[in-house]
Amino acid sequence: MLIFHKVKNVSLNIVLMFLSFFVILQIGHSQTDNSHTIYNKKMKKSSYKKLLKEAMAADIVFFGEMHDDPISHWLELKLLKDISAEHGMVLGFEMFERDNQEALDKYVNGSISADSLKTEARLWKNFKTDYKPMVDFAIEHNMKCVATNVPRVYASNVYKEGFEALEQLGSNERAYLAPLPIEYDANLASYQEMLSMMAGHGGENLPKAQAIKDATMAYSIAETYEKDKKYIHYNGSFHSDDYEGIIWYLNKYKPGLKIFTITTRIDDEENMIIDELKGKANYIIAVHKDMTKSY
């Protein structure tokens, strides 16, 4: 009877161990399903580990985010931490405009507080929750932060008047832009898509306003790229999807860089068309439709 009791207990422990392992697997699987799925450029399910390996091999990583998506921002910080564990880094932000570089520098070098930065720079409303963690990590690890975007007033002027509006600018104002005249290809798929999405509203100047942003961000990256460091640029996905936008201009300003791209989408099953996303980026992050928003 004693031997039978011991055998019975051993068998029960083995059963319980396998049940626990199964529950853990199910929880992990459920958590992945309930937050996001990572695909490669062929839209085959992949993993963060594979994404990281390919990102590590690139000169510059474009993280095309959804601005109000917490999964994007969490992965942005995670990727930054993981790449920086092996490489020096430079960080570029669409969320900072070039005329705010001085204020950003002062915050990074400790001359002003976060409250003062809010006063001196045009911060996005989700800066504190979504971008400040990356900037603060950069400060802690002595990384350069670059304000890459065009001052919004100039993009607004292009939207109203076309590129001609930029010709009136003086040399001090032009310093905040990519070199003029801006090369522009209206036939790029991303700009054509923008026109079709707006159904003609905004006219031909709408993609031109996008182009002055793309060109200026690309020029900012080219100016601040350091050969011995990895560069991550944070931008809305539309600015780097299809290897166009910023990348189209960067290949002109600084050709030969090894570029790696990430894009994000809402996985609502009905509107996330797999075939349309193939080749959109090196990796596609599909975020569950029920994920909460930053704002």
Task: Print the domain residue range for 169.
Answer: 39-288
CB-CB neighbours of 215 under 10 Å: 25
Q: What dihedral angle (degrees, nearest 10) is formed by the CA atoms of 192, 193, 196, 202? A: -70
- Is 27 inside any structural domain? no
- Is 64 inside any structural domain? yes
Integer CA distances (angstroms), 56 to 36, 85, 142, 184, 264, in order: 22, 11, 19, 31, 19
- Is 249 inside any structural domain? yes
Distance, in Å, from the CA atom of 77 to the CA atom of 74, rounded to the nearest integer, reads 5
Please, what is the average pLDDT of the chain?
90
Distance, in Å, from the CA atom of 103 to the CA atom of 241, rounded to the nearest integer, reads 30
pLDDT tens by residue, 201-214: 668 899 999 999 99
**In angstroms, how far is the first alpha carbon of the chain from the final one?**
65
pLDDT band at 196 (very low <50, low <70, confident <90, very high): confident
pLDDT tens by residue, 17-39: 444 444 333 434 434 456 999 99
- Is 13 inside any structural domain? no
pLDDT score at 95: 98
Structural domain total, the chain: 1
Residue 147 confidence (pLDDT) above 90? yes
- Is 12 inside any structural domain? no
How many CA atoms lie less than 13 Å away from 88 in the CB half-sphere?
8
CATH of the domain at 110: 3.40.50.11550
Distance, in Å, from the CA atom of 11 to the CA atom of 17, rounded to the nearest integer, reads 10
> What is the token pair recorded at 86?
């092996």
Would you give the DSSP letter of residue 159?
A: H
Are 64 and 261 within 8 A, CB to CB? Answer: yes
Higher-pLDDT residue of 34, 231: 231
Q: Which residues lie closer than 8 Å to 247 by C-beta, 6 or more apart? A: 62, 218, 240, 259, 261
Q: Which residues lie closer than 8 Å to 98 by C-beta, 6 or more apart? A: 147, 148, 149, 150, 151, 176, 177, 216, 220
pLDDT band at 45 (very low <50, low <70, confident <90, very high): very high
pLDDT score at 8: 52
pLDDT band at 192 (very low <50, low <70, confident <90, very high): very high
Does the predicted TM-score (pTM) go above 0.85? yes
pLDDT score at 31: 40
pLDDT tens by residue, 152-190: 999 999 999 999 999 999 999 999 999 999 999 999 999
Are 133 and 91 within 8 A, CB to CB? Answer: no
Helix (H) or strand (E) holding 213: helix 205-224
pLDDT tens by residue, 235-278: 999 999 999 999 999 999 999 999 999 999 999 866 678 888 99
User: Phi/psi of residue 26, each to 5°?
Assistant: -65, -40
Q: Is 6 exposed, middle or buried (0-12, 13-18, 19+ CB in 10 A)?
A: exposed
User: Phi/psi of residue 89, each to 5°?
Assistant: -135, 150
